[in-house]
């Protein structure tokens, strides 16, 4: 074989090696670990466990209460609340806790309260007050507010809240624990209309 042909083969060999080294140095999409933790009373997908995803992968998820004795779940991604069904884009390691919504204030942070705002049919603010929910379960219990009123609360159909005041005439609130919004009624205020509540 001529020296010229040897030279060509050597050059081709070097180029092939360089190409292989270049390709091996191209960074691949990193793997991230996503852990799903499902509380009792919750069913859905993905199932509880730890999974690996590539960066910017999309995770479709859907969870619901396993029975009427359990409440609509909420999805907490590293502590931030999301709806019970949707999609998440992966960009870091994270833990996803799926648990029943719990409106009680006598667990966790004792300074945690609900701030209620009442609206009238004209769209104006009728009242604002702070309220605390108590109970032996997250399905029912009692409540008190900072005006001195109190009453009982119950949740039905996994998400429907009803509050009945015991010492504020015949005031009744109905609404959703998912959004903490609804309607209120009291015979002495014919313009009573809606309410919203947020954790303080």
Residue 17 reports pLDDT greater than 60: no
Residue 14 reports pLDDT greater than 60: no
19 in any annotated domain: no
Q: How many domains does the chain have?
A: 2
**Amino acid 8: pLDDT:** 42
Q: Are residues 190 and 163 in the same domain?
A: yes
Q: Are residues 84 and 138 in the same domain?
A: no
Cα 194 to chain centroid, rounded? 24
Tokens of 92: 């870091």
Residue 9 reports pLDDT greater than 70: no
Residue 86 near residue 103, CB atoms below 8 Å: no
DSSP H helices, 83-171, are none
**Amino acid 112: pLDDT:** 80
Tokens of 12: 């081709």
- Span 49-95, pLDDT tens digits: 999 999 999 999 999 988 877 788 889 998 788 888 999 999 999 99
Tokens of 191: 């313009």
- Span 145-173, pLDDT tens digits: 999 999 999 998 888 999 999 999 999 99
Q: Are residues 93 and 136 in the same domain?
A: no
Tokens of 86: 């949707």
Range of the domain at 42: 31-100
**Amino acid 178: pLDDT:** 86
22 in any annotated domain: no
- Span 121-142, pLDDT tens digits: 999 999 999 999 999 988 999 9
130 in any annotated domain: yes
> At a CB cut-off of 8 Å and minimum separation 6, what does 9 contact?
none
């Amino acid at each position: 074989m001529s020296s010229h042909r040897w030279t060509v083969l050597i050059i081709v060999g070097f180029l092939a090696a360089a190409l292989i080294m270049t390709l091996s140095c191209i960074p691949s999409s990193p793997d991230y670990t996503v852990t799903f933790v499902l509380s009792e009373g919750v069913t859905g997908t993905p199932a509880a466990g730890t999974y690996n995803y590539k960066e910017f992968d999309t995770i479709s998820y859907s969870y619901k209460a396993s029975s009427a004795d359990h409440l609509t779940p909420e999805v907490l991604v590293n502590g931030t609340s999301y709806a019970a069904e949707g999609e998440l884009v992966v960009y870091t390691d994270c833990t996803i806790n799926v648990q029943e919504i719990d409106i009680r204030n006598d667990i966790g942070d004792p300074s945690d309260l609900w701030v209620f705002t009442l609206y009238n049919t004209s769209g104006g603010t009728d009242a604002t007050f702070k309220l605390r929910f108590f109970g032996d379960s997250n399905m029912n219990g009692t409540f008190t507010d900072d005006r001195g009123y109190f009453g009982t609360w119950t949740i039905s159909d996994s998400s429907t809240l009803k509050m009945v005041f015991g010492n504020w005439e015949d005031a009744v609130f109905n609404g959703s624990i998912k959004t903490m919004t609804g309607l209120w009624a009291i015979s002495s205020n014919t313009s009573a209309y809606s309410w919203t509540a947020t954790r303080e």
